[in-house]
Amino acid sequence: MLILSALTLRSQTKPAYWPDVAPILRNNCAACHRPGEAAPFPLLTYADAKKHALQIAAVTKSRFMPPWLPEPGYGDFEGAHRLSDVQIQTIAEWARSGAPEGDPSPAAEAPPAEGEWQLGKPDLILRAPQPFSLPADGPDVFWNFIFTPELTTARYVRAVEIHAGGKRLVHHANLIVDRVGSARKLETKPGAGFPGMDFNIQYSVFDPPGHFLFWKPGSPPVEEPAGFSWRLQPGNDLVLNAHLRPSGKPETIQPTIGVYFTDKPPTVFPLLIQLEHDGAIDIPAGARDFVISDDFRLPMDAGILAIYPHAHYLGKVCEAWATLPNGKREWLIRIPAWDQNWQAVYRYRKPVSLPAGTLISMRWRYANTTGKRVRSGNNATDEMGHVWLQVLPGGGSDRRRELEQAVLEHRVQKYSEDYSSWLDLGEIKMSRLDLEGAVSSLESAVHAGPKQSQGHNLLGAAFSRIGREREAIEQFETALRLDEGNVNARYNLVFALVKAGDLTAAQKNLAQVVTAYPKDASLHNFWGELLEQEGKHAEAAAQFDEALHLDPSLAAARENRAKVRRAE
């Protein structure tokens, strides 16, 4: 008597929607193929799937769907939407046999409906102050929406969820933390937002970006692991850089962001670093294999947590790998058929551990069939070639500045006239007490940007810290000639003048600083100390009294006021 195993029996029956095809569509397609999402039709029910059975079979056989760009075997990523050969064959056989339903089972849970929060109700919901009007046709648009959280104290963020405000219109979006209000300077009026694909958000070298806050249609929100929260402070802005595509009719877009807090501060500190060589992008018309590359050597042991390749429409092949000190190659990603429509952040199942001295390399290949030369730039018709990495330095402490210094040193080797990079490099060196190195880098910044006030201000600060006071004063005065509103430069000038013994000039400049910050008790106390040094007891007492009026707990002002009383 012949006894057939369950597997044999299964292989002799034709696949059915239940139980063979439904799990494949639910796990790999339903996130986008549902009402309110970017896909053109839903795939949540048997009726939906049967209607499109032959189309589903065709696009899965060609691997056009589900979209997943990385080549298997070149990086182990979580959430990979790449069907196995068996799954593709199952769909093909099901479609060929008439898309039978099989034995119905309870419907799989569908993704949240449009407008619902996948991570639950947010702790803070932010809505763009004004909608953006997208024209009916024309080129792609890159628009930046600015959100200002109303916070009274610093909070730690464990997740953000982005509702883009038009999922068939928004190709992808990146959320950027602006801690110094630099984005608002680009608005024509408050709340209006501003255009631009790639703009420079100023940031403190002491708190550089460390997290991918990326959204595309169908992508689930990411909740940071324990220890990976990030800080959001009063006055910080969130900028949503959105890539928009006209639909054929006028549309309005007004995104919303949900913010989820945690009471636990970060204990690990990743850094986003960028491999790129946009300066080398100059692709002749008809070029079939134009290549750019970049190579960066890790100064420390580190783990690579995630990777984000980015190019435009001429990009064809992206490769990134690590060459270990022993010569072994560790692949980070390979995309053999780049498609900007499906770009994404790819997170590794496990961090890719790399030792100090590892050389990280990236290569982009382009084919130019436009009939005209294409250079780098911020328009969709220009090109870019980036590979962003989320890197966690080893050592168990916050080593971002050490890694960032190496990144900036690499960048100024490529772009010797890059003012911002020289400026940041000088500030990092100064914070790490490499004062001579800071002077050298900041002199390069001033050379690259002679009309930039902040470069002269920081160079003056570096001169002052090594005792070159006269040169420091010259730099601060130059900074103020370029921008008389640079209060930080004027404050630095006050200290340099005091060290040089010119108390009269110091007080004159300090008076302007106090005018800018009249409610700063420490400034009034400092002014009183300068007056006291000149024997102007009554005027000094008035400043100490004002300091104590503004801040009765200021011990230094209280002690100074007592000394003046004894001298009177």
Delimit the domains of the chain by residue range. Answer: 7-96, 124-262, 273-395, 517-568
pLDDT (0 to 100) of residue 8: 41
pLDDT (0 to 100) of residue 418: 96
Give mean pLDDT, residues 290-306.
98
The first and second tokens of residue 59, run together, are 């696009």
Q: Which residue has the tokens 């589903």?
A: 56
Beta carbons of 480 and 486 less than 8 angstroms apart: yes
pLDDT over 60 (residue 263): yes
Q: How high is the mean pLDDT of the chain?
A: 91
pLDDT over 80 (residue 205): no
pLDDT (0 to 100) of residue 32: 83
Architecture of domain 517-568: Alpha Horseshoe (1.25)
pLDDT over 70 (residue 10): no
pLDDT (0 to 100) of residue 217: 82
User: pTM (2 decimals)?
Assistant: 0.88
Range among 3-7, 79-83, 161-165, 281-285 rated most confident: 281-285
pLDDT over 60 (residue 145): yes
Confidence of residue 286 (pLDDT cuts 50, 70, 90): very high
Helix (H) or strand (E) holding 135: none
Give mean pLDDT, residues 271-276.
96
Give mean pLDDT, residues 384-404.
95
Cα maximum dimension of the chain: 118
The pLDDT tens digits of the residues spanning 416-456 come to: 999 999 999 999 999 999 999 999 999 999 999 999 999 99
Beta carbons of 254 and 149 less than 8 angstroms apart: no
β pairing state of 230-232 and 155-163 = antiparallel
Answer with the residue of higher pLDDT: 103 or 482.
482
Beta carbons of 155 and 132 less than 8 angstroms apart: no
Cis peptide bond prior to 351, omega within 30° of 0? no
Give mean pLDDT, residues 211-227.
89
d(CA 383, CA 394): 34
First to last CA, the chain: 118
Give mean pLDDT, residues 356-376.
96
Question: In the chain, helix, strand, coil percent, each to 5?
Answer: 35, 25, 45
d(CA 259, CA 177): 13
The alpha carbon dihedral of 240, 243, 247, 248 has a sign of positive
Is 568 in a helix, a strand, or coil?
coil
Query: What's the CATH number for 273-395?
Result: 2.60.120.230
Angle at 315 between CA 310 and CA 319, to 5 degrees: 65
| Domains 273-395 and 517-568 belong to one CATH topology | no
d(CA 215, CA 475): 44
pLDDT over 90 (residue 220): no
Beta carbons of 554 and 521 less than 8 angstroms apart: yes
Alpha-helical runs (H) found in 117-261: none
> What is the full DSSP assignment across 141-172?
EEEEEEE----SS-EEEEEEEEE-S-TTTEEE
pLDDT (0 to 100) of residue 9: 43
Is 311 in a helix, a strand, or coil?
strand
pLDDT (0 to 100) of residue 394: 94
The first and second tokens of residue 472, run together, are 């420091």
pLDDT (0 to 100) of residue 1: 40
pLDDT (0 to 100) of residue 567: 65
pLDDT (0 to 100) of residue 12: 54
Confidence of residue 553 (pLDDT cuts 50, 70, 90): very high
The pLDDT tens digits of the residues spanning 509-523 come to: 999 999 999 999 999
- Looking at residue 519, its amino acid is K
Residue 150: partners with Cβ closer than 8 Å, 6 or more residues away: none
- Rg over CA atoms, the chain: 29
Return the percentage of the chain with pLDDT > 90, whole number: 73
Range among 169-173, 247-251, 294-298 rated most confident: 294-298
Confidence of residue 7 (pLDDT cuts 50, 70, 90): very low
The pLDDT tens digits of the residues spanning 529-540 come to: 999 988 898 999
pLDDT (0 to 100) of residue 13: 78
CATH classification (class only), 124-262: mainly beta
Buried b (16+ CB within 10 A) or exposed e, 295-310: ebebbbbbbbbbbbbb
Give mean pLDDT, residues 242-259.
92
